[in-house]
Amino acid sequence: MSAASMDVIVSLCKRRGFVFQSSEIYGGTGSCWDYGPLGVELRNNIKRIWWRDFVQQRNDMVGLDASILMHPTVWKASGHVDNFTDPMVDCRECKRRFRADQAGTMDWTHYCPATKGNKFTIKGGERCPHCGARRTLCPECGKGELTAPRQFNLMFKTFMGPVEEDAAVTYLRPETAQGIFVNFDNVLQATRRKLPFGIAQIGKAFRNEITPGNFIFRSREFEQMEIEYFVNPHDRVDGRPADEAWHDRWIADCQSWFTRYGLDHANVKLHEHLGDELAHYSKRTVDLLYRFPMGWNELMGIANRTDFDLKQHAKFSGKSLTWFDEERKEHVVPFVIEPSAGVDRALLAFLLDAYREEEVRGDKRVVLRFHPELAPIKIAVLPLLKKRPEIVAAGHDLRHRLTRRWLTLYDDTAAIGRLYRRQDEVGTPYCVTVDVKTVGDPEKGEAGDGKVTIRERDTMQQIRVPIAELEHVFGRLLDAGTPWSEVAAGYPRAEG
């Protein structure tokens, strides 16, 4: 498991400007989050590499950006108006509301009769060690009875236009997928694609979750990265029905994407939906789980949604949503494989997995070992002596040059040791220091050597590199992905 507890990550996120609670000065909402200066970079990096790897670099994928507000019939056709519900229960005493399926797994408050009514907090699902009772009352206050479960629709209702009447009711989308299905034919006509092909979209989704929580894991406003991959169910791939073979390929691709960018294999596993868990439209669904501090939980889902959505939209809209199979001379409704990931859950998992506390020469060092592609800041330029104007000027000049290709920050607000620690804590892979040797010392008649020190985050090794070669060196490290050890072998080591 990751070394980090949720509290440690929440506090780091706030302190260093990754994530803030929404509307904090008004007491916060508890269910929405704002991404700060570093958070927005990390988030954009996740979305950028996902889009690059799954859309731009593949010949069988295109992108889409559909609107959040859609025709209300979309949500009738998709089944969300009738089925997108969670059973909820209310406490008759404290009036708190829970998801019926979560009340049993939460830690619960117990006033134990065997210990004169002393108050205990007992782990979810476990019995009281003193009286042996199981939870029956409200898990939060420990006093009130819970109501029978009632269905609660998770969609946010709103009104389109100036009149608040039933005819104007619409919803904030609870998933991005439906924007893809309703545009299936538009994309097909515009791009002349043949099956199999996929449409991807990244965008906000909204769910009025009954019990949001665990930081950004479950919020009411979040972002999804979704793909609908359309296949011909009559085709065979690897000797199997095409939808089944493509489903397995997407499961493998998604899992290896997350581990390629840093998640430890031991912290990721697959979960097969069985029995009741399988949605009515799904032939098979597999979740990718991550070992979050609160336990194994869904990072993303990969579902075989069959032809359910296209058929539903064809039925409700009266438009044909088919693809013409030239070989078989027939119209087919494609089957759909849907890899659906949450940006916020991905960000949380990457943060947790990257977090390390290390001991360096007797001091604690906190470091985020982000994959360089994810790191919010790629390079920090740090002057060794800010009293020397030539050093400061050279530092600013370097930042200006490097930031055109890699986000580079200049910082001279502390001593070098502290500056390194600050960059380690936010996962900056490389620091460049400018010192007296770089610029020389005219008073002593010493000319500068035009070289700077590059320090690598994980090994803390330092090498001395001519300024003229910096773009080339960082091109190898940050663009070509050449390992540090290989690049560092070509330059003299600098003193740590």
CB of 292 to ligand ATP, least distance (A): 11
- Residue nearer to ligand ATP on the CB measure, 290 or 355: 290
Map the footprint of ligand ATP across residues 244-303, applying CB under 6 A. 298-301
Print the binding letters for residues 143-182 with ligand ATP: x by CB under 6 A, - otherwise.
--------------------------------x-------
Q: How many chain residues are in contact with ligand ATP, going by CB under 6 A?
A: 16
CB of 220 to ligand ATP, least distance (A): 7
Q: What torsion do the CA atoms of 83, 84, 89, 95 make, to the nearest 10 degrees? A: -140
Tokens of 137: 């009352």
CB of 54 to ligand ATP, least distance (A): 15
- Residue nearer to ligand ATP on the CB measure, 44 or 282: 282
3-state secondary structure string, 434-485? ECHHHHEEHHHCEECCCEEEEEECCCCCEEEEEHHHHHHHHHHHHHCCCCHH
**From CA 12, how far away is CA 180, in angstroms rounded?**
37
Tokens of 322: 């088919």
- Residue nearer to ligand ATP on the CB measure, 345 or 378: 345
Longest dimension (CA), the chain: 86
**From CA 55, how far away is CA 36, in angstroms rounded?**
27
CA 373, 375, 378, 384 torsion-angle sign: negative
451 binds ligand ATP (CB under 6 A): no
Print the binding letters for residues 108-147 with ligand ATP: x by CB under 6 A, - otherwise.
----------------------------------------
CB of 250 to ligand ATP, least distance (A): 14
Output b/e per residue, 372-410; b: 16+ Cβ within 10 A.
Answer: bbbbbbbbbbbbbeeebebbbebbeebbeebbeebbbbb
Print the binding letters for residues 292-321 with ligand ATP: x by CB under 6 A, - otherwise.
------xxxx--------------------
Q: What torsion do the CA atoms of 9, 15, 18, 19 make, to the nearest 10 degrees? A: 80
CB of 218 to ligand ATP, least distance (A): 4
In this structure, how many other beta carbons lie within 10 angstroms of the beta carbon of residue 159?
Answer: 13
Q: Taking contact as CB under 6 A, which single stretch among the options 251-259, 321-329, 334-342, 408-416 is the one that binds ligand ATP?
A: 334-342
- 211 phi, psi to nearest 5 deg: -125, 80
Strand 197-206 relative to strand 61-63: parallel, antiparallel, unpaired? parallel
CB of 20 to ligand ATP, least distance (A): 17
Q: How far apart are the first and last CA of the chain?
A: 31
- Residue nearer to ligand ATP on the CB measure, 342 or 429: 342
Which residues touch 393 (CB under 8 Å, ≥6 apart)? none
- Residue nearer to ligand ATP on the CB measure, 137 or 300: 300
- Residue nearer to ligand ATP on the CB measure, 115 or 256: 256
Q: Taking contact as CB under 6 A, which single stretch among the options 44-52, 214-222, 245-253, 306-314 is the one that binds ligand ATP?
A: 214-222
**From CA 107, how far away is CA 131, in angstroms rounded?**
17
Map the footprint of ligand ATP across residues 462-481, applying CB under 6 A. none
Map the footprint of ligand ATP across residues 179-208, applying CB under 6 A. 207
**From CA 216, how far away is CA 13, in angstroms rounded?**
11
**From CA 263, how far away is CA 255, in angstroms rounded?**
9
User: Closest-CB residue for ligand ATP?
Assistant: 342
Map the footprint of ligand ATP across residues 218-237, applying CB under 6 A. 218-219, 222, 224
Map the footprint of ligand ATP across residues 337-366, applying CB under 6 A. 340-342, 344-345
User: For ligand ATP, which residue of 209, 248, 397, 425 counts as binding (CB under 6 A)?
Assistant: 209
CB of 279 to ligand ATP, least distance (A): 9
- Residue nearer to ligand ATP on the CB measure, 129 or 213: 213
Residue with token string 């070289």: 451
Residue with token string 């499961």: 251
What type of residue sits at position 406?
A: W
CB of 342 to ligand ATP, least distance (A): 2
Which residues would be at the binding site for ligand ATP (CB under 6 A)? 175, 207, 209, 218-219, 222, 224, 298-301, 340-342, 344-345
